[in-house]
Amino acid sequence: MSTRPRRVVTGHTADGVSVVVSDGPVPVSREIPEDGVGFHEIWSTTGAPAPVTARVDVDPTEVDLTVPPPKHGTRIRINEFAPGHLDGRGLQSPVHRTESIDYGIVLEGEITLVLDDSEVTLYAGDVVVQRGTDHAWANRSDAVTKVAFILVDGEFAQDLLDVLPAGSLEKVSRKGPKD
């Protein structure tokens, strides 16, 4: 896939002056070659409100690749979807569900969001608000697609739990992309 995205992180000196504390490629990137998907982890928070500290003592990007954000936290990543990696159903990712609100912003290319009863193709500049539904992704074009995802931890409300088909919660991603 392509080079890692550049990440600039700001902070403060001991005197409270705002400074750049790091500027370079994202420190955590993973690829799933068989799916043609790359994950570039940008930042993560572990609570709300997120602590805004003077210094960054520990980089909060994850060590192990997990799909959902931390409990009460957020995650931002950029995914790259290479063309030519569709399975027999025409999907590039497994069908999955997260207990989160996810904002997907297509940065480059086009990607198809596959839901239970429909599909929608998103293009550069489009934004999807993914609200805990079963879904999968498919790059059916001939070019790499880049999507920025901001994931916000959530909790399924009782009205949703009341209408989900039996077995739906078994598809909730709790760890990696293929758990």
pLDDT given at position 74:
94
State pLDDT tens for residues 113-133.
999 999 999 999 999 999 999
Instruction: Say what the pLDDT of residue 177 is.
Output: 62
Q: Omega into 27 within 30° of 0, i.e. cis?
A: no
Rounded average pLDDT over 70-77: 93
Residue 40 CA to residue 148 CA, distance in Å, equals 9
pLDDT tens profile 145-167? 999 999 999 999 999 999 998 88
| Mean pLDDT of all residues in 11-32 | 93
- Condensed to tens digits (0 to 9), the pLDDT of residues 101-116 reads 999 999 999 999 999 9
Output 22-28 pairs: Cβ under 8 A, ≥24 positions apart: 22/56, 26/61, 26/78, 27/59, 27/61, 28/61, 28/62, 28/63
Ordered domains of the chain (ranges, CATH): 28-171 (2.60.120.10)
Average predicted confidence (pLDDT) for the chain: 90
> What integer is the mean pLDDT of 22-43?
92
Is the pLDDT confidence value at 174 over 90? Answer: no
Give the model's confidence band at 1: pLDDT under 50 very low, under 70 low, under 90 confident, else very high: low
Q: What is the pTM of this model?
A: 0.90
